[in-house]
Amino acid sequence: MSLVVVALALAVLALITQTGVVAVQRAYPAQGRMVEVAGASLHVLDIGPRDTTSPPIVMLHGASSNLETMRRPLGDLLAKTHRVILIDRPGHGWSSRARLSDSTPAIQGRMIDEALAKLGIGRAIFVVHSWAGALGAQMALDYPDRVAGLVMLAPVAYPWRGGVGWYNKLITMPLIGPLLAHTITLPLGYFLTEPGARSVFAPQAMPDGFVENSATPLLLRPCEFLANAWDLVTLKAAVIEQAPRYATIKAPVVVIAGDADKTVWPTIHSRPFAATVPNAKLILLPGVGHMVMDAEPDLVMHEIDAMTREIAHSAVAAD
C-alpha cells in the first residue's frame, strides 16, 4: 500500500510540475530570437544602437539565472549608447542544449562563438558574471580574435574547497536526479527561490521585485534545473584544467568584485586571476557582495565605457 501511495504522490507532483512549467513559461516568454548552433538553440537578445563605432558588448550570466539578470539594470543602461548582446547560456532561460553534459565553459564557449558568428558579430567586449567568469576566461583563451576585452564581475576562476551543494550532486545522479527534478523541484522551489536570491545579494538588500523581473522562476523547470546542476557540479574540474593557461590571455581585463562576497570569494578567484593575467585591473568594492552589477552599476558602466574607448582608440591607431 505504501508503494501505491508514493507512486500516487509522485504522479500528483509530476502533474503539478508540468502545470507549473506551462504557467512559468507563459509568465516569462522569450524576448529575443533563437540562433541554432551545433548542440544547442541559443536565445539571444540584441538591444541598443547598431551604428556605434565601439565594439558590441556581449553579456553572459552566471548559474541559477538567465539573461534578464544581466539586462536589469546593467544591460539596459549600456544599451543607451552601446549595442548589447545578451545570451541565455545553453540550457538556461530559453536556450536549449542537446546533452546535460554540455556543461563546461569550453563547450558552451564554442556554442556562443558559433552563435555570434551567425549574427555577424566580430570582436566584442564580454561582460561576464559569477559562473560565466570561467566561461569568459575560457573564451579569451580559445577565441582571442573574438574577445576584444573582458569585464569580469565576481567571477569564478579557480578551484575552491568544498562542493556546490548536496542537492546539485543529487540532481545529477542517474534516475533519481530526473525523478526529483520532474516532481518536487518546482513546487518546493516556489518557497525557496526568494530566500535563496536574498542570500546571494547579501549584505546588500535584494531589489524589490527582483525574482519576477529577472524571470528567476524559469530555473525551476526540470530541464533547466538539471542543466544548472550539471554546470555547477562539473565546474571545478573545468577551472582546474583551464587555470594554468590564464597567463597567456592577451585581451585587456577588468575584474570587479565585492570584498564581502560569500558566494564567490575574491581571495580565491578575483585576486589571483588579476595577479596572473598580464593586462588585468582589479577593483575590490568594500562592503559589496556577489551582485556587483546591481550594487554599483554606474562604476561597472564606467569601466566598460573606458574599455570600449581604449579598444576603439587602439583600432584607429592600428589603421
Contact 78, 110 (CB under 8 A): no
pLDDT value for 315: 64
Spatial neighbors of 284 by CB under 8 A, at least 6 apart, are 257, 258, 259, 266, 270, 271
pLDDT value for 113: 98
Contact 218, 28 (CB under 8 A): yes
DSSP secondary structure code for residue 256 in this structure:
E
Number of helical (H) and strand (E) elements in the chain, helices listed first:
13, 9
Mean pLDDT, consecutive 10-residue segments, the chain of 319 residues?
81 93 97 97 97 91 98 95 97 97 98 98 97 98 98 98 90 94 92 93 96 96 97 98 98 98 97 97 98 97 95 68
DSSP secondary structure code for residue 73 in this structure:
I
Say how far apart CA 293 and CA 154 lie, in whole Å.
9
pLDDT value for 38: 96
Query: Quick one: CA dihedral 186, 188, 194, 198, positive or negative?
Result: negative
pLDDT value for 318: 60
Domain housing 163: 2-318
Q: Provide the whole-model pTM.
A: 0.96
pLDDT value for 230: 98
The 10 Å Cβ neighbour count of residue 258 is 26
Spatial neighbors of 175 by CB under 8 A, at least 6 apart, are none
Say how far apart CA 298 and CA 232 lie, in whole Å.
30
- CATH code of the domain in which 138 resides: 3.40.50.1820
pLDDT value for 107: 98
Say how far apart CA 207 and CA 213 lie, in whole Å.
10
HEC-encoded secondary structure of the chain: CHHHHHHHHHHHHHHHHHHHHHHHHHHCCCCCEEEEECCEEEEEEEECCCCCCCCCEEEECCCCCCHHHHHHHHHHHHCCCCCEEEECCCCCCCCEECCCCCCCHHHHHHHHHHHHHHCCCCCEEEEEECHHHHHHHHHHHHCCCCEEEEEEECCCCCCCCCCCCHHHHHHCCCCHHHHHHCCCHHHHHHHHHHHHHHHHHCCCCCCCCHHHHCCHHHHHCHHHHHHHHHHHHHHHHHHHHHHHHHHHCCCCEEEEEECCCCCCCCCCCHHHHHHHCCCEEEEEECCCCCCHHHHCHHHHHHHHHHHHHHHHHHHHHHC
DSSP secondary structure code for residue 82 in this structure:
S
Whether the link from the prior residue into 266 is cis, omega within 30° of 0, is: no
Say how far apart CA 196 and CA 15 lie, in whole Å.
25
Q: How many domains does the chain have?
A: 1
Q: 256: exposed, middle or buried (C-beta count within 10 Å: 0-12, 13-18, 19+)?
A: buried
pLDDT value for 52: 77
pLDDT value for 1: 52
